[in-house]
Structure 1
């Protein structure tokens, strides 16, 4: 993409701004500025690693843990609108059964830790991931409720290792937006400011975790859908290396053989130390070999950092995020990396990931319903009769444009992608990481993402390159909103990014409940 076209696309966002900003302000002004109630039950503040040990050792009842999280869900969901459907009664019964089993000494403590490391821990799941018996619409409006007939493989693994599933959480329609809203379940709010978005597409999941109503959860990521929400609500999210977690059992889905190269399911958590615990339990046993609990000597890790892709299409990162990035980089003596080909990140993503076929409102229709056409659906949308959101309505247009990129252009971008991948692997090796912004700013107001559509290229370039990435919470900006950065490593080195995330949490602090941020910042 030429410099001129890049600038044209960048400035086109200002045109969108003129349209989007007034609507965003109107929508946000209608939202009552409610605050979340403070966390009163101390069980909600215990990391999963420790909580699992307490349950195994009968220092706390699983039933009490599950009750605490259910009560917190009931407290915060009227404010956040994060839960699509719950299974609280079943979760409580499972918790009681777990307590009975532990009391009967059905296994030794060591066996429980080895075979069921998640035993008794509450888990929430993005609604687009199949949980048997619960809603699996991915935000679409259907005449007949869509219920998952079986668990997705990643959910099966979680249950197998002892997790207690509480509910499924909200997504944008078909996960096609970085804002979590749809015409079926409504709009999810950010726990730190309800006038802000929690991001998407794992926005409901992140909002519930960030509010202290979920310990950790399962999301999905093809363009930053785990990492952006994790940053916006001050928690941790990990996009695993390709094929570590099964990408199937998800709505939408694709039959393209390259789909798992870019799309993955993965964990979100309030505490960095819980990410390896959850990832190790839900990953595919026949997938790539990982050493998630390998001891890492941080002094032997080579740290690099970049502040942007220098493409001219993304906005400059905010002063607070820049300061935070430099603070972390200076602590680890990171060297600034120079990767000129990063300017092609957006182009590569559009030419490789976007053209892939996946389920849309035009390709997957309800039984007995006629297939939709884009022209009619656009007409319905502009006349206020469509049951779909704008991104779902226009997805065929986006795919048509990207599918029809000239073949010579595609070949050129494929070669650039291969060379960029080689440069990244050379930079990182098996003992290096890249510190990189997650997003230029903290959480934006609802719907403002539509005039910031170039900025998620900070995230999706790593999907295109197939690299493991962990979003790490690093503090708060002047608006008292969470900020963070990405830690990137070579494929298969997930343990390194997770170890660095834990180290950053120890040094710079981790998750803080929304009502405690002001006091914490004042003390600092």
Structure 2
């Protein structure tokens, strides 16, 4: 009997080994097929599209290549006028749009009138220091996608049924950018209801890549990425449900940040109310420079809702003054909250604010934090610029005062406080191992290796390769998550009326459908079997838990943006799952920043994603800025003719 059991165990072990070998061989065959199909597709489409062309050279107004924050500073100092800036971007937009086909509506003449009014106020010195602080992008032009509502602008979502529809109010992210002083000069093209990897619809047509007009800009924020990269806009606001910010940003060689899910109010984007729960979609900034990401993200997302009480000029251990009176401790209203950041501590502890920023010259963050039972961090002196705090200029030397975060949870301290990138933990992933996706090409891996070498040269700990269980099911996880989204694709596509995929397929074959082939594919996918729902949901949870545990609150993950750079037009109809390297982080609700890493031998942008744990967006943004300063950055898709 023992001999039979031993023989059975040996047979089982042999079977497992043979299964492993067979699966390994099958995997290699599938990957080889991916490579051969992609190579054939590239060859055929290159022959079809003929000669490569890029967008027009820049011959004047070279300042439009500067960052949005630099331009804002030049307007504040009077070295540029808002009208001059808006006119220059609009002129550039008009010059490149016939090649790119990236503008859905605009440029708006009203933007120039608004710019003139700003200039008049600046000339008369009517803008106070406080207003400048509240409007950091005063007079700077920006764009946003057609699916994000801009009051008075066309709001078609790429649908023929909405070709003349206009928005009646601004989306929340647009409203906040306008409150920050920015001027919306145009809206940009999208695929039908934002649901495809190529920006093409039957209202505006197809949008072209500024680095190679024969190639895709991705989707759904494709018009945004194209016009920003070509310097037709200072910056933009995109939305991302499966890579819709990061994919176009990668293909067009710019920066794009997908925030942690739920951080930004989505009211007014693709008919969202802003009250939806458990959604993957989120709005975020798209820029030519990493240093613009955080200021724009702050203005379009995190909202200052109030200021809090202090003792007179912050100089006492109790928060009391003759303007507002005395502030009470939420644990015992008879007791002090300390000072000087006492109002902050009280309102945060009582859940009247998500977090706050205090200042500390003698315990002014830590004392109130202690008295009110929350967390407070006083940074190393000199680490944070103190301009605007208690009349400081930010140029003071040898001062004790420092600004720092105040929170209910320790895990929030690091995301709010700009991290020291040299002390972070770095990891990288080379392959998600989803067999529906082609393997990562050598140029993309080379870009990733360059970033790893740079990180290793500055960080205290080396960058470590990791594997994450469950990523091999990325395409299934995203497909399932999309089915749980609060808006049905068929209703969105039909502008409120259900659309039958079979009927539309027949109409398409007869040349009678109002929709693109890509949208009809998505409709058909929606009626196909859902798969093993329990297994998919369990895998999503396990994958999310594994990556969050791996990252903690001080970890960063470097991931290839995609298997390869921008494909030729129409290739996405074959390379359907190429977007999986982006959609993985929508499924897991993680923040991710797309950064450019130079060009390949064909002049196409390379890049990678920087990923962090939920609510650790600042880690992504800080690392993006560090890499930009020393290794990479936006490379213009045009030549300059002086």
TM over 0.5: yes
Q: Which moved more, 1:150-159 or 1:355-364?
A: 355-364
Distance 1:346 1:393, change over 3 A: closer
Partner SS state of residue 351, structure 1: helix
Distance 1:359 1:12, change over 3 A: farther
Residue in 2 aligned with 1:46?
66
2:403 is the alignment partner of 1:383: no
Aligned to 1:181, which of 182, 191, 200? 200
Partner SS state of residue 197, structure 1: coil
Aligned to 1:453, which of 572, 576, 579? 576
Q: Which moved more, 1:156-165 or 1:142-151?
A: 142-151
* Alpha-carbon distance between aligned partners in 2 of 1:386 and 1:14, rounded to the nearest angstrom: 34
TM-score (ref. length: structure 2) = 0.74
Residue in 2 aligned with 1:135?
154
Shift of 1:6: 8.1
Q: Is the 8 A contact 1:130 1:150 kept in 2?
A: yes
Residue in 2 aligned with 1:81?
101
Shift of 1:9: 8.5
2:190 is the alignment partner of 1:171: yes
Residue in 1 aligned with 2:482?
353
Q: Which moved more, 1:176-185 or 1:240-249?
A: 240-249
What are the within-5 Å matches in structure 2 for residues 111-510 of structure 1? Answer: 111-142=130-161, 145-251=164-270, 253=272, 257-260=276-279, 262-285=280-303, 294-333=417-456, 334-362=463-491, 365=494, 372-401=499-528, 404-405=530-531, 409-510=532-633
Q: Is the 8 A contact 1:243 1:288 kept in 2?
A: no
Shift of 1:34: 5.5
* Alpha-carbon distance between aligned partners in 2 of 1:23 and 1:480, rounded to the nearest angstrom: 19
2:83 is the alignment partner of 1:68: no
Distance 1:40 1:489, change over 3 A: same
Q: How many residues are treated as equivalent by the alignment?
A: 508
2:36 is the alignment partner of 1:36: no
* Alpha-carbon distance between aligned partners in 1 of 2:519 and 2:110, rounded to the nearest angstrom: 34
Q: Which moved more, 1:505-514 or 1:126-135?
A: 505-514
Unaligned runs of 5+ in 1: 520-524
- What CA deviation, in whole Å up to 9, does each residue of 1:11-50 have, x standing for no partner? 9978987997798457634x88354222521221221112
Q: Which moved more, 1:183-192 or 1:57-66?
A: 57-66
* Alpha-carbon distance between aligned partners in 1 of 2:445 and 2:510, rounded to the nearest angstrom: 43
Shift of 1:284: 4.7
* Alpha-carbon distance between aligned partners in 2 of 1:211 and 1:498, rounded to the nearest angstrom: 23
Q: Which moved more, 1:117-126 or 1:288-297?
A: 288-297
* Alpha-carbon distance between aligned partners in 1 of 2:182 and 2:127, rounded to the nearest angstrom: 17
Shift of 1:372: 3.9
Q: Which moved more, 1:87-96 or 1:33-42?
A: 33-42
- What CA deviation, in whole Å up to 9, does each residue of 1:212-241 have, x standing for no partner? 111110111000010011011110000001
Shift of 1:492: 0.8
* Alpha-carbon distance between aligned partners in 1 of 2:582 and 2:498, rounded to the nearest angstrom: 33
Distance 1:487 1:363, change over 3 A: closer
- What CA deviation, in whole Å up to 9, does each residue of 1:315-335 have, x standing for no partner? 222211111101111221211
Aligned to 2:128, which of 104, 108, 125? 108
Q: Is the 8 A contact 1:238 1:267 kept in 2?
A: yes
Shift of 1:258: 4.1
Distance 1:467 1:144, change over 3 A: closer
- What CA deviation, in whole Å up to 9, does each residue of 1:434-492 have, x standing for no partner? 00011111111011112211221111010000000000111111111111000000111
* Alpha-carbon distance between aligned partners in 2 of 1:121 and 1:39, rounded to the nearest angstrom: 21
Q: Is the 8 A contact 2:565 2:605 kept in 1?
A: yes
* Alpha-carbon distance between aligned partners in 2 of 1:61 and 1:71, rounded to the nearest angstrom: 15
2:184 is the alignment partner of 1:57: no
Distance 1:341 1:366, change over 3 A: closer
Q: Which moved more, 1:290-299 or 1:231-240?
A: 290-299
Residue in 2 aligned with 1:522?
none
Distance 1:10 1:142, change over 3 A: farther
Shift of 1:427: 1.1
- What CA deviation, in whole Å up to 9, does each residue of 1:495-517 have, x standing for no partner? 11001111111111311212349
Shift of 1:168: 0.3
TM-score (ref. length: structure 1) = 0.89
Distance 1:22 1:510, change over 3 A: closer
Shift of 1:359: 4.7
Unaligned runs of 5+ in 2: 1-19, 306-352, 356-411, 457-462
Q: Is the 8 A contact 2:144 2:238 kept in 1?
A: yes
- What CA deviation, in whole Å up to 9, does each residue of 1:361-389 have, x standing for no partner? 5556459xx75432221111011111211
* Alpha-carbon distance between aligned partners in 2 of 1:457 and 1:413, rounded to the nearest angstrom: 15
* Alpha-carbon distance between aligned partners in 2 of 1:169 and 1:349, rounded to the nearest angstrom: 26
Distance 1:324 1:8, change over 3 A: closer
Distance 1:366 1:23, change over 3 A: farther
* Alpha-carbon distance between aligned partners in 1 of 2:188 and 2:237, rounded to the nearest angstrom: 10
Q: Is the 8 A contact 2:237 2:283 kept in 1?
A: yes
Q: Is the 8 A contact 2:598 2:635 kept in 1?
A: no
Partner SS state of residue 225, structure 1: coil
* Alpha-carbon distance between aligned partners in 2 of 1:11 and 1:375, rounded to the nearest angstrom: 33
* Larger Rg belongs to: 2
- What CA deviation, in whole Å up to 9, does each residue of 1:139-166 have, x standing for no partner? 1112761111111111111111111001
